[in-house]
Structure formats: C-alpha cells, structure tokens
Structure 1
Amino acid sequence: MLTSDRIELALESAVHRAGDAGSPPLLASALHYAVFPGGHRIRPNLCIAVAAACGAPFPRETYAAAAAVELLHCASLVHDDLPSFDNADTRRGKPSVHAQFGEPIAVLTGDALIVLAFETLAREVAPSRLAPAIAIVAGAVGAPGGIVAGQAWECEAAVPLADYQRAKTGALFVGATMSGAASAGVDPEPWRMLGDKIGEAYQVADDLRDVLCTAEELGKPIGQDAARTRPNAAAQLGIAGAKSRLETLVAAASASIPDCPGRAALCKAIELQTRALFPRQLTQVAA
C-alpha cells in the first residue's frame, strides 16, 4: 500500500471512531469535512519519511503519529478560519467549516480534532513509548511555543516575526520530525532542528504566496496578513529578501538532518519537497 493511502486510511479510521454511532450528526459531518479531502499532507509525510530514514521498526505507531500531527493541523485550520480570527469563508477550495456548518460547530470541530489526535496516539503507541509521544505532540500544539501560542500572538500589539512563525507554523513541523524519530525508537531531540527549518521555510513560502498568488490558486482568501497587520516575511524582507531567506532555509534543512541509515534518501526527499514550496512566480524575482 502506498504511503499516501496508509495516511488516508489512518485518518479515516480516527475520524470514523469520532463520528461513530451516538455522535451528534452535525459534528460527525463537520469532522469528516474538515479532514477530507486533505491538502498535500506535508506534515504526516514528513513524519513517516523521518521514521523510514531511522529504520521505522514500529509502523503502526509511525502512522498513528502521522495521523495525530495531521489532525492537529486540520484543527488549527478550522480555528484559524473562525470569524474571531481570519473570518475566512474558504479553505482548500471549498467553504470553510464555519461557513458550511456555523461557528459553534466549527469551534467544537477544532476542539474534537485536537482530542482525537491524542486519542489516536493512546490507541496505537505502546505504553512504554506513549508518554514521550504525547509530550512531543503536546509541545507542538500548546503553550508556550505550539500552534495555540502562534494563534495567540495574533492578539498581541507587538508580534516578533521569528516567535510568531516558530509557534504558528514551525511547531507542528517540529512535532512531525520528532514524532517520526520517536516512533522509530530513536532520540527525537536531534530532529528538532530539521522540523524548525522546514517549518520556517513553509511559513516564508506561505507569506510569499499570500502576496504573489490569487485566491483561486490558493483555494483560500489572500492578503490576510496585510489586512490584519500580521507579521509577513515578504512584507518585512521584500519579495527578493524573502526568496533569499527561503533559499537559505532549504539549504539549512538538508544540512540539519542527523546521521541515520536513510540520511541520503531523506536529504533528497527534503530538497524536493521544500523546493516544491516555492511559488512559481518566484522564477521572475531576482534574489
């Protein structure tokens, strides 16, 4: 079975459990709507790639970790789109969850997805490895440096770009790389830097897309950072400066991969994946 198919199967299994008989029908529908069809599934694929590079002796735990990371990502998108934050009516080319189901169900959907991520780990990870697995994921989602903190930075009058990007986007990439390593039975800490660099690269690329792409290309509203006076790498560094920063981060990500059996293959995969983040419009911009 292809990796992508196994990711979808793990997610389907988790969402099906949450929306099983007895679940409020609207909530069950919203949970499935929020997760499927997905985006590029970058974070779960990264989790699995790291585990594979380390040997991946516990595949069920690896796919559980990958699913947990993606469920947290989906939860963050649901909450991010709420009227109290971005008030975005579209996501992934279709109405956002709050636009489709209403704000109360959207809030509960995001909350339920967060809980479901931890439940997925609890079901699949061996007891001897469960506490570290939960600690990694909790660090990626909570305070002081997880995606909740990243969202909270938007409520502050002054927002440091590095702190905001590290929490809003980087934390879940760190969670993906460290979860992949932990699920393979190796020390996850050396994998923190890889997630941090890829996460920052992804955010810089997203900032560039917000400036260079159309809403139709992105499947979501554009210009949100400028409209809400949020930090944006393209706005602070200029298009050329942000492109240069993105190039630096891509190189740093590859260089940060720890020694492992599959380092060469992972390095190549990371290079291809991060290059794919570059908006096509950047070909016309000199660094």
Structure 2
Amino acid sequence: MPMSTRIDSAIHAALARTRTGGSAPAKLSDALPYACTPGGARIRPTILVSVALACGDETPAITDAAAAALELMHCASLVHDDLPCFDDADTRRGKPSVHRAYSEPLAVLTGDALIILAFETLALSAASHPARAAALVALLARQSGMPHGICAGQGWESETHIDLSAYHRSKTGALFIAATQMGALSAGQDPEPWTELGARIGEAFQVADDLRDALSDETETGKPAGQDALHCRPNAVAELGVDGAVTRLKDILSGAIASIPSCPGEAALAQMMRMQAERLTPAFARTRARV
C-alpha cells in the first residue's frame, strides 16, 4: 500500500468514528472532514511513518494510529490559527477556512473536536500495546501544549518581547519533533535520539514558510500571504533578510539529514528527507541558493 494511502486510510477511519453511534449535529459533523481534506502534503504523518519504517515498524497498527492522531492535531491547529482572534484567514488549502465556511463558533468546536479525536485515536490503539500507546499520548500532549508545544507557540505572539528561536520551536517545530519521536516510539525505539531531526525539520519548515509568506501569493500557497508583516509577527525574513533566510534554510536541511540516528532504514530515510527538502524549499529559494 502506498504510504499516502496508508496515512489517509488511518485519518478517514478516525473521522468515520465521529459519524457513528446515533444522531449528531450535522454541521459540526461535516466540518470535521472539511478541516482535514484535502490533506495537502501530509508532511508530518509522512515523516512519522517513514521513521517507523526505518526503525522496523513492528506494530503497524500503532504507527497508523500515531500518524492519524498527529495529523488530526495539526489540522486542529490550522482551524484555530485561522480564527479571527488569530490570523483571521479567509482561505486554507485553496478553499474557505472553516470559520468562513461554517461560522466562528463551529470552527472553535471543530478544532476542539479534532484535538479530542487525536487522543481518542491513540487511546483506542492501546488494545494492542497499552504501554506504547500511553507513551504516545504523553508525547503528543507534550508537543501540543505548554511550555514548549504548539499552544506555547501561539502564546508567544501575545508577548511584548519574543524569543524567535523558542517561538519557532513551539509554533512549528513541536509537531515535527512529535513526528520523529512518535515514529520511533511506534516502532518500539527510544524517541529521544530522534529529537534533533524533528527540531531541524521544524525549523526548516518555518523558515521556508516565512519565505513563502513574504515572497509568494495566495494562488501559490493556498492561504493568505503577507500575514507576518500584517500581524507584526517575528519571522526569519524580517530578521535575516531574504538571502540570509535562504542560506539559513539550506544549512538547516543539510544538518537535518546529517542528524538522522543510526537505524536499519537510515539510507532510505535520508533519501525521503532529501525529497521532502526539495518539496519544502520554494522554487525562488532553490534558485537563490545556487547563485
């Protein structure tokens, strides 16, 4: 089964549980899959499954549950990020954002419901491996909340003085760290050696996103551009300039590949990382990096 099919099947299976067991509010029921599909590149669960495969993937059911839970958490964060109280974004992935399509109250509930569904998905996987599932729940919670998870990342935007490194580590890096750690843990391996890889991927993704926000338009990104400048958010382009941000991105990606821990599938994982780096790096950044 192709990895993308495997991941999407796990996500759809989780979403299907929200439509069983009797009557439910129709609009909220519709908003949940709307927020998760189409799924874009599914970068985080792809990294998670790739790490699990590199480590042997001895319990595929646990891996699938972890991948689905991670993507559900990511989708929830996007729904909340787009709300008027944060980015007030009209579009996401080339279509109206959830609060535009369904209303602001339903968008709040959609994000909340997806977060709960993420943890339910991990909890249900405990039947096959209770200790591993419990550890995955704790890991995802740690990278989603405080003091260093995605909630902390959003919280930094309300501070007068912002630590850019801590902000990027929380807002974007946290779920990439979760991806590499949860992938290793799903395969029965120690997650800690995989922290650096996730952190580097997350930092690279944030720098690339800063470049896109500054230099691309909505037709390219599927979401409003120029948001960092509009909301006076800290970003790599403002701090380093375009050329400095491009150089930083290239250095981070090189370091990410070099940081892959020794494992049976190390070579295949490195190749996957190179492919993801190519996809991650905007075309204008690749051009500048060669100059």
Q: Give me the TM-score of the superposition, normalised by structure 1.
A: 0.98
SS in 1 for 2:280: coil
User: 2: CA distance between counterparts of 1:36 and 1:45?
Assistant: 16
User: 1: CA distance between counterparts of 2:188 and 2:226?
Assistant: 42
Asked if 1:141 is matched to 2:139, the reply is: no
Structure 2 counterpart of 1:5: 5
Asked if 1:75 is matched to 2:76, the reply is: yes
Letter in 2 for 1:263: E
User: 2: CA distance between counterparts of 1:236 and 1:19?
Assistant: 46
User: 2: CA distance between counterparts of 1:232 and 1:43?
Assistant: 21
User: 2: CA distance between counterparts of 1:53 and 1:282?
Assistant: 29
Q: CA deviation at 1:282?
A: 2.0
Structure 2 counterpart of 1:237: 240
Structure 1 counterpart of 2:258: 255
User: 1: CA distance between counterparts of 2:19 and 2:166?
Assistant: 36
Number of residues paired by the alignment? 287
8 Å CA contact retained: 1:207, 1:233: yes
SS in 2 for 1:276: helix
Asked if 1:170 is matched to 2:173, the reply is: yes
User: 1: CA distance between counterparts of 2:24 and 2:152?
Assistant: 30
Out of 197, 209, 213, which is 1:194 matched to? 197
Structure 1 counterpart of 2:121: 120
Structure 2 counterpart of 1:59: 60
Letter in 2 for 1:86: D
User: 2: CA distance between counterparts of 1:22 and 1:253?
Assistant: 47
User: 1: CA distance between counterparts of 2:287 and 2:155?
Assistant: 35
Structure 2 counterpart of 1:27: 28
Runs of 5+ consecutive residues of structure 1 not aligned to the other structure: none
What is the correspondence of 1:65-104 to structure 2 with a 5 Å cutoff?
65-104=66-105
User: 2: CA distance between counterparts of 1:234 and 1:27?
Assistant: 38
Summarize deviations over 1:77-122 as a string: whole Å, max 9, x none. 0000000000001000000000000000000000110010000001
8 Å CA contact retained: 2:62, 2:133: no
Summarize deviations over 1:239-258 as a string: whole Å, max 9, x none. 11001110111011011111
Letter in 2 for 1:14: A
User: 2: CA distance between counterparts of 1:99 and 1:160?
Assistant: 32
Structure 2 counterpart of 1:184: 187
Q: CA deviation at 1:130?
A: 2.0
Asked if 1:222 is matched to 2:225, the reply is: yes
SS in 2 for 1:285: helix
SS in 2 for 1:82: coil
8 Å CA contact retained: 1:75, 1:109: yes
8 Å CA contact retained: 2:69, 2:119: yes
Structure 2 counterpart of 1:275: 278
Runs of 5+ consecutive residues of structure 2 not aligned to the other structure: none
Asked if 1:156 is matched to 2:159, the reply is: yes
Extract structure 1 runs of 4+ deviating beyond 6 A: none
User: 1: CA distance between counterparts of 2:159 and 2:37?
Assistant: 33
Out of 248, 255, 266, which is 2:269 matched to? 266
Letter in 2 for 1:157: T
8 Å CA contact retained: 1:19, 1:29: no
8 Å CA contact retained: 1:19, 1:31: no
CA RMSD of aligned residues (A): 1.0
Alpha carbons of structure 1 residues 185 and 283: separation in structure 2 relative to 1, 3 Å:
closer
Q: How many percent identity over aligned positions?
A: 56
User: 2: CA distance between counterparts of 1:19 and 1:212?
Assistant: 41
Q: CA deviation at 1:66?
A: 0.5
